[in-house]
Amino acid sequence: MRRLMFSFALCVLAGSALPAQTPALTAIRAGRLLDPDAGRILTNQVIVVEGNKIRDVGPSVQVPSGAQVIDLSQMTVLPGLVEAHNHLALTYKPVPENNIYYYTYVQESTALRAIQAASNGMQMLASGFTIVRDMGNNGNYADTALRQAIEQGWIPGPTIINSGIIIGGMGGQFFPTPEMAKDHNIVYPEYLDADTADEIVKAIRQNILFGAKVIKICVDCKPYGYTADEIRLVIREAAKSGLKVEGHVQTLQGAKNAIEAGIWSIAHSGALNEEMHQLMAQKGIWRAGTETPEGIAGHPVTSDAYKRTVAGLKNAYDNKVPLTFSTDADYYVEGKTRGELCLEFLKTWKDAGIPNADILRAMTINGYKVSETEKTRGPIKAGFFADLIAVPGNPLDDVDALKRVQFVMKDGLVFKRDGVMTPAAFFHGGPVNGWRIR
């Protein structure tokens, strides 16, 4: 023990004796720079990145001497994209589980799923998603492990806003057999049972202790779902630790309760009618609609169901509900990465007739706000973390340009260049950003 402490002290001493490293300087020449807030393109901009932050941006910014220059003069540079509802440590598949995610939980360990999450995170980043809200169904906190691994500097990946385990009335979204439910050892820990006020408080504290950055509840997965008062308790307890609450909502009464309580965001759109949309707009409640398009192989959506999804999204837009781009795409489609699969959801937004500028706002500005990074990460502005991407063409004219991301920078490091992932700079044999990051 003493020897260990002694060598630890030596390491600290050696570390402090090293000369401070000068942060790397990079200058990006952006032929076009998309400002999603204003919905316009600026031309011939220079972005100077120092270390992990943007130092300067503008048309007359000088390239500092000694800076590495990245030429994106033929591209449109834009801030990183946000996926507001995914499950990176869950991938259900045609084989062996016939896309029934119930079986995924039985067959795959949290450890395996954490490694899948690391891979899915890189796949998201390669498609330009620099922030992902990871909303539960991630085994025994594989989502926290993923966030910590990225933040500590072990692997590349998006900034993760994770919920830990979904909290709900007994059973969560599942219908466990009595044998499963009694010992809590088969379909758990996908859900935290919280039926009473004490259990609700305890479940929220458990999630926060184990690394959640947002709280996710099942509002109405069971007939004994949460009342508006119970949701207020969730919001109050989460707020003590500075966290917001997202509700999975699937019934009109659930939507009413969640909106009345003043929840931060509502996941899924099936239960949201015009009246709910108007209330959400009034209260500024985020809509994470998870609008599955038709045509995804192995995940058929009936034509009627798709028409309802499109009409619902259009109705939300017309009623000025704050919209986020969110997919719930937590399955394997052959030939597609997780990021490519998420971008397929652009179809629903286009079919709803939402202007490209507003689709881009939902994927950027609104995404930063629902993730609460808007003051530190997202916008391409001096002082913000250097997360940015580049595509050929102009996404304001053709939003499908986002499917051709050629360049990705995350925290000032180049992750993808000329359409090829180049993540070497992200990999380390230790927690280079600090092991205290929890």
Residues at the contact surface with Zn ion, assessed by CB under 5 A: 328
Least separation in angstroms between residue 371's CB and Zn ion is 16
Residue among 344 and 387 whose Cβ is closer to Zn ion = 344
Distance in Å, CB of 288 to Zn ion, minimum: 9
Closest CA to 215 of 238, 199, 189, 237: 238
Helix%, strand%, coil% for the chain, nearest 5: 35, 20, 40
Distance of CA 232 to the CA centre of its chain: 25
**Least distance in angstroms from the C-beta of 224 to Zn ion:** 21
Tokens 């007359």 locate to 60
CA dist 433 and 51 (Å) reads 13
CB of 38 to Zn ion, least distance (A): 32
Map residue 342 onto helix, strand or coil: helix
Task: Find the shortest distance in angstroms from Cβ 135 to Zn ion.
Answer: 5
Question: 3-class DSSP state for residue 281?
Answer: helix
Cis peptide, bond prior to residue 189, ω within 30 of zero: yes
Closer CB to Zn ion, 220 or 328, in the complex: 328
Please, which residue, 152 or 265, has the CB nearer to Zn ion?
265
Listing DSSP states for 56-120 in one string gives EEETTPPPPTTPEEEEEEEEEEEEPEEEEEE-TT--B-STTTTT-HHHHHHHS-HHHHHHHHHHH
CB 45 within 8 A of CB 57: yes
- CA 261 from chain centre, in angstroms, equals 24
Q: Given the complex with Zn ion, which of 108 and 328 has the nearer CB atom?
A: 328
Least distance to Zn ion, CB of residue 82, Å: 15
Give the nearest distance from C-beta 277 to Zn ion in angstroms: 20
Instruction: Indicate the helix (H) or strand (E) that contains 409.
Output: strand 407-410
Residue 90: CB minimum distance to Zn ion, A: 9
Q: What is the dihedral of CA 243, 324, 310, 246, to 10 degrees?
A: 0
Q: What does the alpha-carbon distance between residue 292 and residue 312 come to, in Å, rounded to a whole number?
A: 12
C-alpha span between 79 and 298 (Å, rounded): 32
Burial label for 318, CB within 10 Å (0-12, 13-18, 19+), is middle
- Rg, C-alpha atoms of the chain: 22
Determine the residue with CB nearest Zn ion.
Answer: 328
Least distance (Å) from Zn ion to the CB of residue 216? 9
For residue 96, the minimal CB distance to Zn ion (Å) is 22
> Is 48 exposed, middle or buried, given 0-12, 13-18 or 19+ CB atoms closer than 10 A?
buried
Of the pair 132, 405, the CB lying nearest Zn ion is at 132
β-strand pairing of 191-193 with 215-218: unpaired
